[in-house]
Amino acid sequence: MKFVDEASIKVQAGRGGNGSLSFRREKYIAKGGPDGGDGGDGGSVWLQADYAVNTMVDYRFQRHYEAESGKQGRGRDCTGRGGDDLTLNVPVGTTIIDEDTQEVLGDLAKHGQRIKVAQGGFHGLGNARFKSSTNRAPRQTSPGSDGEFRSLQLELKVLADVGLLGLPNAGKSTFIRAVSSAKPKVAGYPFTTLVPNLGVVKVQAHRSFVIADIPGLIEGASEGAGLGVRFLKHLTRTRLLLHIVDMAPFDGTDPATAVKSIVNELERFSPTLHQRDRWLVLNKMDLLPEEERKERCKQVVEALNWTGPVYAIAAISRQGVEPICGDIMNYLEERREREVDDPELAAVESDIQSRMQEESRLRIQELAAARKAARLLAAERGEEFDGDSDDDWEDDDDDVEVVYEP
């Protein structure tokens, strides 16, 4: 399945039906009077969250949607039929933004949640509505009003409890394979994941959480380099970040330096996301000599002045993954219980997620505007634009798998 997490669509609500101009005409009944009926209301456009929809790919092929218009009124006081509403199913986790005003219209975070994005037109009135004691034969009607038109930006942010953060080839995909049944691509050569992968981690019966693996970040990602900035917004819904670190990089780079570069990119992208709880996971420990492991871990922790939780694992052999999964489950359950008991804490959490999503959206808009300005400047000078094109920020034509498996 092709993964698409953004789409622009235009929706048009149905027009209201016109009122009818009619007079009663029956044998032996003189001056029967006006009997023109009202028109029908136009159909509205709704968006509804549906677990069965995983991606925005359908909205890349069809971008214009129109609800049914109301029918015109008829004689004998017959009201025209109202237009049917149009309901568009979108993935759970979709944010709806008005492209013209940049207003966030809604955030569909639960299955079945729906929002009206375009109001249908109001029906017109038939001439029977204008009858009075002084105007017994009105020839006046009113037309139906136009339905609302909107240009919408749909943004999908995956719903996950835990997000994986790190450089390409740090072992994020291997980690998610080790703790869940998700099967993202892994190989014995360097490459980067192209799409987010989701996996359900089952700790015990009726105890599980969802983990998300996004494409790896590189230095300059917050300025648009690489794929990571396109998917960093998916981390704004998570409650905990796991920073996966390659302790035996093939190019010999310093792990602490790699961590600092990712932290800097995270802070530039979203200061609020940077302040999210983050645990350090030192991966590929099996590639280090056993007598050097503790000392290497100590060096990284001291270089970072790290005060949070630290785990040393070997994801490929599942060494050390069970303790971290248990601790994550306990952490998430404790957070949820505290939010249930304290409504103010729940409100703070909601506000934090809103700020993260707003910061990520504004950052992506800034990058898109800067890229467009650079392209126009290059065109004015007759130079070839050497930056990313808009196509580079769109999804490739190749089919890639979206993984969400228990």
Residues annotated within a binding site for Mg(2+): 173, 193
Q: Which residue in 243, 301, 237, 303 sits closest to 270, CA to CA?
A: 237
Tokens of 244: 């996966």
Cα 257 to Cα 97: distance, rounded to the nearest angstrom: 38
Cα 107 to Cα 157: distance, rounded to the nearest angstrom: 10
Q: Which residue in 93, 102, 92 sits closest to 151, CA to CA?
A: 102
Binding-site residues for GTP sit at 166-173, 191-195, 213-216, 283-286, 314-316
Q: How far apart are the first and last CA of the chain?
A: 18
Chain centroid to CA 318: how far?
31
DSSP state string for 73-116: PBTTTBPPPPPPPEEEEE-TTEEEEETTT--EEEEE-STT-EEE
CB–CB of 154/49 below 8 Å? no
Report phi then psi at 352, rounded to 5.
-65, -45
Binding-site residues sit at 166-173, 191-195, 213-216, 283-286, 314-316
Cα 353 to Cα 235: distance, rounded to the nearest angstrom: 10
- Strand-strand pairing, 278-283 and 310-312: parallel
